[in-house]
């Protein structure tokens, strides 16, 4: 069958006319609107900024109706950079100053990974909600304590799985899958390659006792997507492996990991690594394939190596045609949904159960992973 890449208008026309029984037309990209910032509904602060993901998190909550009030970072250089980006935010003298501010409803953090869960527990005990960078929890012991305190306090403990929540193509894929564009989802294949950028990494980056290991860290994104797209509410790890295959100068570092997972509504394969070559014009060629009974979707999240500009590329293949969609102007709903959840005590952005299960699977896979030991 001849593969043809349709432009957006032609795709909408054809799918609207097709008598497939699937309401695709209503889910296809509409005229893009400029991202707007909603009037402030809540006040939030930031504690610890050891990863640049905090900037995307802060922007998402601000777009959704959050007002950044204050922040704390013990590192002067990190504090200075954050203050430059958000000059109206007050630099607090200590985390305690922020925690004791009763006007603050939400705390964001991208601290050193092992310190994220203890901070979140303290935040919830102070009666505030918490949005943390992944990995939001680095051990099963931490997870058990977080679950306990979250249940006791009824606060939100949310982890920012940005490869889904802040990637426009992935958001669009969710809409298409929900509309039945590829039938029932059977499997997801998630690839999370990253560039090491050795010179810019802090010392703790190379020690898995701080990061939790490669599957715990960057693999958590992939487990979130597996659960979301398959609709699985239970899952088991079939097999997992990790290793430091090529960086003996960092003996406590893992540069490769992969996992097979089986859910109650689909299966998944996950591969993560730190081998993005310098010749790629992106930090990683992040990819996701979603296999359905009536077609499949493939996402090239950050770059299309065949030559298309930018990221957020979506390919949909069904029984009639092959379709390319540029999703670079699709809206990102997470920020507004999350802010509304803080206000209304709802779970529209992501359920607490889903959030914890994605992390639990990553932690279990990390713990049971066989160690790769290639002979030189």
Instruction: Out of 160, 184, 200, pick the residue that ends a domain.
Output: 160
The structural domain count of the chain equals 2
For residue 356, say if its preceding peptide bond is cis, omega within 30 degrees of 0: no
108 beta partners: 46, 131
For helices 140-153 and 113-125, the axis angle rounded to 10 degrees is 20
CATH (domain of 268): 3.30.360.10
Whether residues 221 and 117 share a domain: the answer is no
Residues 98 and 217 in one domain: no
- Domain end, chosen from 160, 189, 209, is at 160
Other beta carbons within 10 angstroms of residue 56's beta carbon come to 17
In a domain, 147, yes or no: yes
Are the CB atoms for 42 and 336 separated by under 8 Å? Answer: no
Task: For residues 235 and 153, state if they share a domain.
Answer: no
Within this chain, do residues 270 and 248 fall inside the same structural domain, yes or no?
A: yes
Domain of residue 209: give its range: 8-31+164-333+366-370
Task: Tell whether 188 and 280 lie within a shared domain.
Answer: yes
**What is the C-alpha separation between 59 and 108, in angstroms, rounded?**
11
- The answer to the question of residue 344 being in a domain is no
Boundary residue ending a domain (160, 187, 212): 160
**Residue 256 within any structural domain of the chain:** yes
Q: Are residues 179 and 278 in the same domain?
A: yes
> Are 47 and 95 within one domain?
yes
Q: Which tokens is 320 given?
A: 């009639």
Which CATH number do you get for residue 130? 3.40.50.720
pLDDT per residue, tens digit, the chain (376 aa), is 333 333 443 344 333 333 333 334 333 333 344 567 788 899 999 999 999 999 999 999 999 999 999 999 999 999 999 999 999 999 999 999 999 999 999 999 999 999 999 999 999 999 999 999 999 999 999 999 999 999 999 999 999 999 999 999 999 999 999 999 999 999 999 999 999 999 999 999 999 999 999 999 999 999 999 999 999 999 999 999 999 999 999 999 999 999 999 999 999 999 999 999 999 999 999 999 999 999 999 999 999 999 899 999 999 999 999 999 999 999 999 999 999 999 999 999 999 999 999 999 999 999 999 999 886 5
**Domain co-membership, 97 together with 179:** no
Mark whether 168 and 300 lie in a shared domain: yes
d(CA 110, CA 166): 16
What does the alpha-carbon distance between residue 252 and residue 214 come to, in Å, rounded to a whole number? 11
Contacts of 48 (CB under 8 A, 6+ apart): 72, 73, 74, 95, 109, 110, 111, 112, 115, 116, 119
- Residue 376 inside a domain? The answer is no
Same domain for 199 and 272: yes
Residue 207: inside a domain, yes or no? yes
Residue 224 backbone phi and psi in degrees, to 5? -60, -45
Whether the Cβ atoms of residue 229 and residue 263 lie closer than 8 Å to each other: no
Do 62 and 177 belong together in one domain?
no
Q: Is 117 exposed, middle or buried (0-12, 13-18, 19+ CB in 10 A)?
A: buried
Q: Is residue 345 part of a domain?
A: no
Distance CA 43, CA 67 (A): 5
Helices (H), the chain: 8-17, 53-63, 76-85, 95-99, 113-125, 140-153, 162-165, 168-178, 208-211, 214-217, 219-230, 334-344, 352-368
Residue 304 backbone dihedrals phi, psi, to 5 degrees: -115, 105
Answer whether residue 338 is part of any domain: no
Say if residue 81 is in the same domain as residue 188: no
pTM > 0.85: yes
CA gap 189, 271 in Å, rounded: 8
**Is the residue at 295 inside a domain?**
yes
């Amino acid at each position: 069958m001849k593969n043809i890449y349709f432009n957006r208008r032609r795709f909408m026309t054809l799918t609207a006319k097709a008598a497939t029984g699937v309401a695709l037309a209503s889910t296809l990209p509409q005229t893009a609107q400029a991202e707007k910032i909603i009037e402030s509904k809540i006040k939030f602060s930031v504690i610890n900024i050891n990863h640049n993901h905090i900037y995307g998190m802060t922007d998402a909550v601000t777009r959704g109706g959050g007002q950044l009030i204050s922040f704390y970072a013990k590192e002067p250089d990190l504090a200075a950079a954050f203050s430059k980006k958000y000059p109206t935010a007050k630099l607090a003298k200590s985390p305690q100053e922020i925690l004791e501010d009763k006007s603050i409803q939400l705390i964001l953090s991208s601290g050193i990974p092992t310190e994220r869960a203890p901070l979140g527990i303290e935040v919830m005990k102070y009666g505030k909600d918490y949005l943390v960078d992944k990995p939001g929890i680095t051990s099963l012991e931490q997870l058990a304590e977080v679950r306990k305190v979250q249940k006791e306090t009824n606060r939100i403990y949310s982890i920012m799985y940005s490869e889904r929540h802040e990637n426009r193509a992935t958001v669009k894929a969710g809409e298409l899958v929900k509309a039945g564009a590829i039938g029932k989802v059977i499997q997801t294949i998630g690839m999370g390659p990253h560039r090491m950028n050795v010179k810019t990494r802090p010392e703790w980056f190379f020690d898995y006792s701080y990061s939790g290991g490669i599957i715990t860290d960057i693999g958590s994104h992939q487990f979130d997507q597996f659960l979301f797209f398959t609709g699985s509410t239970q899952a088991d790890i079939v097999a997992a492996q990790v290793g430091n295959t090529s960086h003996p100068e960092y003996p406590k570092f893992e540069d490769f990991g992969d996992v097979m997972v089986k859910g109650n509504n689909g299966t998944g394969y996950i591969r993560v690594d730190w081998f993005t070559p310098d010749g790629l014009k992106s930090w990683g060629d992040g990819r996701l394939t979603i296999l359905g009974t009536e077609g499949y979707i493939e996402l090239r999240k950050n770059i299309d190596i065949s030559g298309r500009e930018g990221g957020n590329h979506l390919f949909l293949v069904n029984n009639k045609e092959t379709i390319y969609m540029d999703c670079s102007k699709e809206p990102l709903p997470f920020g507004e949904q999350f802010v509304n959840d803080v206000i209304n005590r709802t779970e529209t952005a992501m359920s607490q159960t889903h959030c914890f299960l994605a992390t639990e699977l990553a932690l279990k896979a990390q713990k049971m992973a066989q160690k790769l030991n290639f002979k030189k």
